[in-house]
Amino acid sequence: MRKIQFRQALGEAMTEEMRRDSNVFLMGEEVAEYNGAYKVSQGMLAEFGADRVVDTPISELGFSGLGIGAAMNGLRPIIELMTFNFSLVAIDQIVNSAAKMMSMSGGQFPVPIVFRGPTGNAGMLSSQHSQSFENWYANCPGLKVVIPSNPYDAKGLLKAAIRDNDPVIFMESELMYADVGEVPEDEYLLPIGQAEVVQEGKDVTLVSFGKMMKIAWEATEVMREQGIIVELIDMRTVRPLDTATIIKSVQKTNRLVIVEEAWPLGSIASEISYQVQRHAFDYLDAPIQKINSEDVPLPYAPTLIQEVLPNVEKTVRALNAVLYR
């Protein structure tokens, strides 16, 4: 199977869906003339023209609202945000319009729109450009929140998101755009709301999503050298949250560790922990362990960044804690 970059997988997903459906269009800062801030939309302006690949002013609130109105009138916009840190400027439109419109209109106005762009730490960008908001948006009824960890998932999930009749928050990572993975040339879609058991195991369940899956994979290999076989689960989406797959795994392994980049309070890991103790408490042989970023704004210095973020060492320590408490 061919191997392509994460950014190419996203670009293919958008291009294929725009060829398939003339109602799909892309809008955002630098998506057209510049071929995208991260070159995800490379070549799309040349193929589809300025009516369907639209450069916007630096006004997230404005063009997000424009996209929501277009979606209410039958179009299927893809709104690229240069970073989800900038979505805070548009959060009123996303939360109070896109997420609620179907309910408030009694089902008369679906809002088939995708908000996509990078989330989380991307290196030395300091506090205001390094935040993870997936748990914020997952807290809002009416939104779906997707966070792929590899090119294959990115393409299949983005195509599904574009076809979905609900607003979808599609979160990527600046540190993953150059990642390479196997992606079929034939069309495929992946279901939103379904986790994947990417490695079968028997000793402990490890759950993660997005770029934190890299940390999880490395920790899994370290544990394998110790003779511990980890069952590794990639959530893929955090709303809907596929707790059934996690609970089934915990019923087999009796132990659970969760790795997530967001701050600890009100995190996705906290909700998973609650659901597992509620539905599989009698199967647990050790308290659940979760690794989040430290509860501070992310520093600029690279040495401090490593101290704040989840890493392999912290994950291995947590895995050993549930195994040998």
Catalytic residues: 60, 129
Name residue, tokens 């058991």. 197
Dmax over CA atoms of the chain, in Å, equals 60
CB-CB neighbours of 245 under 10 Å: 18
Report the chain's terminal Cα–Cα distance, integer Å: 43
Q: How many CB atoms lie within 10 A of CB 235?
A: 29
Among 1, 3, 2, smallest CA distance to 180 is for 3
In whole angstroms, what is the distance from residue 32 CA to residue 45 CA?
5
Residue 61: CB partners within 8 Å, gap ≥ 6?
Answer: 89, 90, 92, 93
How many CB atoms are closer than 10 A to CB 199? 16
Strand partners, 79: 27, 115
- CA 180 to centroid of chain Cα atoms: 17
Residue type, 116: R
Residue 57 CA: distances (Å) to CA of 28, 64, 206, 251: 8, 11, 42, 51
Helix axes 268-280, 243-253, angle to 10 degrees: 60
For 169, the 3-state DSSP assignment is: strand
Q: Which amino acid is at 232?
A: L
- Residue 92: HSE in the Cβ half-sphere, 13 Å Cα cutoff: 7
